[in-house]
Amino acid sequence: MKLLEVQNMTTYYKLKEGYVRACENISLHLEQGEALGLVGESASGKTTAALSLIKLLPENAQVMGGSIRINNRDIAGASEEELRSIRWKEIAIIFQGAMNALNPVRRIGAQIVEALRIHEKMTEKEACYRAAELFEKVEIDPARVREYPHEFSGGMRQRAMIAMAIACSPKIVIGDEPTTALDVMVQAQVLQLLEQLRRERQMGMILITHDLSVVGETCDRVAVMYAGRIVESGLTETVFEKPAHPYTQALIAAFPNIEGERYLASSIPGNPPNLLYPPAGCRFHERCGQAYARCSEEEPLAVELSNRHNASCHLLQGRVRI
């Protein structure tokens, strides 16, 4: 049984001018203990997709359709009450810029205790004990529970956020750009920690990032998003070795490979489309070097290329495996 299964989820934002189609027909799944990377550039819809799972969206957002099943329980239509019990206990999120999301005038320990006591029935003492335990788990000296956020470095604050996220032992953790703005070494440390925790606790993890390198180091599977749609998904090795969608190919070509030749790939021309008025047909066709007539008329459907490797591109029609 899959831990998380999302089918055809669509989320729009309502603006005065119309609907922004932030994500359309998102289908993904997650097994227990597996890490899925959601890769895309700014405005690709990846954050919206993740936040839609637990409906932590701004007021003008509407999840228009699709099913979201956690352990076979459909929460797409769940009420706010139900969602509140799911958030943090079953699915936890580490937000982007989380290290700056800590309240600067309260001790870090107190903030974790607060989160614990909201979700689980614990006395203050028990919660404090648990907070110290969690700090040990994320490799921070438990005595530092009494310190304030400004006394922690960026990397340590991020670990504190991770501690908060795993506090209620969730089944799924969503990390939204958990390592942006951290130094390379600290980034590696934090990612190593996340992977360790994931394996120990058999948590499912969805890692949202614009940085392919993060995906390579932590995710078993990857889904590439462009303009609100998933254009390719599969095992990380497969997607890296044999990218099928032109966008993925361009992203991988732009990834500097110190084991290969010194080669500066060219940029993808143009800009991501305005999701208020998305282009007809394939959303990538205006920037695609390999587009042909059909691409501007018809949206490509997902094609299964090999085991668990899908991509949506007309050019792949000939390679369909029935």
Which of 106, 146, 199, 319 binds another protein (CB under 8 A)? It is 199
**217 belongs to the binding site for another protein (CB under 8 A):** yes
Tell me if 153 contacts another protein by CB under 8 A: yes
Helix (H, G, I), strand (E, B) or coil at 11: strand
Kindly report the number of other CB atoms within 10 A of residue 232's CB atom.
28
Record the tokens describing residue 199, joined without a space.
């394996």
Q: How many residues bind another protein (CB under 8 A)?
A: 50
Closest contact distance (angstroms) between CB of 222 and another protein is: 9
Smallest separation (angstroms) from another protein to the CB of 268? 4
**How many angstroms from the chain centroid is the CA of residue 71?**
19
The Cβ-side half-sphere exposure at 302, using a 13 Å CA radius, reads 19
Q: Which is nearer to another protein, 88 or 135 (CB)?
A: 135
Q: What distance in Å separates the CA atoms of residue 203 and residue 129, rounded to the nearest whole number?
A: 23
Nearest distance, CB of residue 227 and another protein, angstroms? 12
Among 56, 83, 188, 302, binds another protein (CB under 8 A): 188
* 201, 173 contact by CB (below 8 A): no
Instruction: State in angstroms the smallest separation of the CB of 84 from another protein.
Output: 32
**At what angle are helices 108-119 and 124-137 packed, to 10 degrees?**
120
266 binds another protein (CB under 8 A): yes
Do residues 38 and 206 touch, judged by C-beta distance below 8 A?
Answer: yes
What is the four-CA torsion angle of 274, 277, 281, 284, rounded to 10 degrees? Answer: 0
Stretch that binds another protein, among 128-136, 165-173, 213-221, 294-302 (CB under 8 A): 213-221
Name the residue among 153, 151, 155, 173 with its Cα closest to residue 164: 173
Give the span between the Cα atoms of 189 and 170, in whole angstroms: 22
The token pair at 264 is 């500066």
Is residue 175 close enough to count as binding another protein by CB under 8 A? no
Instruction: Tell the smallest beta-carbon distance from residue 121 to another protein (Å).
Output: 35
Residue 149 CB, shortest distance to another protein, in Å, is 15
Q: In which element (H, E) is residue 74 found? A: strand 73-74
According to CB under 8 A, which residues from 16 to 45 bind another protein? 41-43
* Interacting span for another protein (CB under 8 A) from 3-11, 99-107, 209-217, 297-305: 209-217
Q: Interface with another protein by CB under 8 A: which range of 83-91, 98-106, 181-189, 314-322? A: 181-189
Contact status: 267 vs another protein (CB under 8 A) = yes
Q: d(Cα 199, Cα 39) in Å, to the nearest integer?
A: 22
CB 180 to another protein: min, Å: 10
* Residues at the interface with another protein (CB under 8 A): 41-43, 153, 155-156, 183-189, 191-192, 195-196, 199, 210-214, 216-220, 235-237, 240, 250-252, 254-259, 262-268, 271-272
